[in-house]
Amino acid sequence: MNYKLEQKAKVCVSYDFSSDLLDTLKTANYTKPLIAIDRFLLQSPVVNQALDALKQENMAYVIYDEIVPEPPFEIVNKGAKLYQENQCDSIIAIGGGSVIDASRGINIVSHCGGQIQEYIQDKTVDHRILGLIAVPTTSGTGSELSNALVVTDVEKQEKLAVLSDEAISEYVILVPELAKSMPQGLTVSTGLDVFAHALEAYTSNLSTPVVNAICEKIMFLVFKYLPTAVHHGEDLDARERMMVAAALGGWVLNNGGTHLGHSIGHVVGAKYHLAHGVACAYALPGVIEKTALVEPKKIREIGNILELSLPHDLSNESLGKEVAKGFRQFRDEVLGLEPCKLNKEDVLSLTDQVVHERFAANSPFDVTHDMVKSILENYG
């Protein structure tokens, strides 16, 4: 049997981070974690309370706060060296997707050896790696439940993915309080990433009926609660709903994957240093239009989630245009995403890279140069 739905991590939603983190470490018998963290979070009262709780229990830990957005190979490899030198037994990843991705890479290298770039194609993780406790502070990448980590080849200006079902988090702690301080722009970009994950997993050629149902719920949660999180960031209910949606979005990536929208997002985003969620959101209208030609039922359901009035007699082409228009309205008018201003010729020059990006193969249609060009011509 080729099973298509699996979830190995233990997940909790926490309103008492100090207590829940300590309980998690004790339950798993971890005594010396490496704490990989966004540096600015060391000023967070919530984080400092948790660190104080570890000190009160005489639990040693090592701080690694050098991870940057779009982490390059050397950041991951340096973290693995620090882990090994200090004989750590676990990793607590507190931060956005880059921190959690890098931490998963550190865990892989620490337990399996080599360097993280070797796992892009040559090496595989052949056994379950434990010890990663993921604490996301943004609601977007879903890295806490995803089997993919993205690292950057700085020399080639490429974002590259390492995929391993054996290296996902062992524990996930969702702390809505940590998301309250997210700036509005970051809330928008990460929230749109969640929607992109769900939309693409929903329409991927890897999707299944169970994945479809989860994706529909994720898109519903984003549509209903992201505007509140953007415009009223202190609303803990909205923050909680978006954290759950983001985590589920990471989960469905393992089971349904992404496709052309993320291929465009990875290639164009790496070239122009666009926020990942933004880079994918700019690609989605074109992807919606192409997908409607082969999956009209699913695109109509997305239109229903976006609360669009769609006549029953629309052609597939017209349906795609209407739903793409509705998504743009949600993206630009409701959430306030600024239009993309990139040189069209430069963007079109990336066509071949997009066609050959690894996730494009999951698309429910044949990805051709002409098709990608038509999307990139209207990118943004």
For 259-314, give the DSSP string. Answer: -HHHHHHHHHHHHHT--HHHHHHHHHHHHHHHHHTT-HHHHHHHHHHTT----TT-
Tokens of 21: 């983190």
Of 203, 182, 200, 181, which is closest to residue 191 (Cα–Cα)?
182
pLDDT in tens, 63-116: 999 999 889 999 999 999 999 999 999 999 999 999 999 999 999 999 999 999
> What pLDDT, on a 0 to 100 scale, did the predictor assign at position 244?
98
Per-position b or e across 299-318, b if 16+ CB within 10 A of its CB: bbbbbebbebebeeebebee
Whether pTM > 0.85 for this model: the answer is: yes
Mean pLDDT of 269-290: 94
Letter for the amino acid at 353? Answer: Q
pLDDT in tens, 130-185: 999 999 999 998 999 998 898 888 888 787 889 898 999 999 999 999 999 899 99
Question: CA 125: distance to chain centroid?
Answer: 21
Is 4 a residue whose pLDDT tops 90?
no
Query: How much is the pLDDT for 135?
Result: 98
Percent of the chain topping pLDDT 90: 86
pLDDT band for position 1 (50/70/90)? low
pLDDT tens per residue, range 297-322: 999 999 999 999 999 999 999 999 99
Q: Are strands 158-163 and 148-153 parallel, antiparallel or unpaired?
A: antiparallel
Res 152: pLDDT: 86
Question: Looking at residue 230, what is its pLDDT?
Answer: 97
Interval 253-264 mean pLDDT: 94
Q: Find the farthest-apart pair of alpha carbons in the chain and give their distance in angstroms, rounded.
A: 68
Could you give the domains of the chain?
10-179 (3.40.50.1970), 184-376 (1.20.1090.10)
Across the chain, mean pLDDT equals 95
Residue 63 contacts residue 37 (beta carbons within 8 Å): yes
225-263 burial: b if 16+ Cβ within 10 Å, else e:
bbbebbeebebeebbbbbbbbbbbbbbbbbbbbbbbbbb
pLDDT band of 340, cuts 50, 70, 90 = confident
Q: What is the pLDDT of residue 181?
A: 87
pLDDT at 228: 98
Beta-strand pair 10-13/33-37: unpaired
Express as a percent the part of the chain with pLDDT over 70.
99
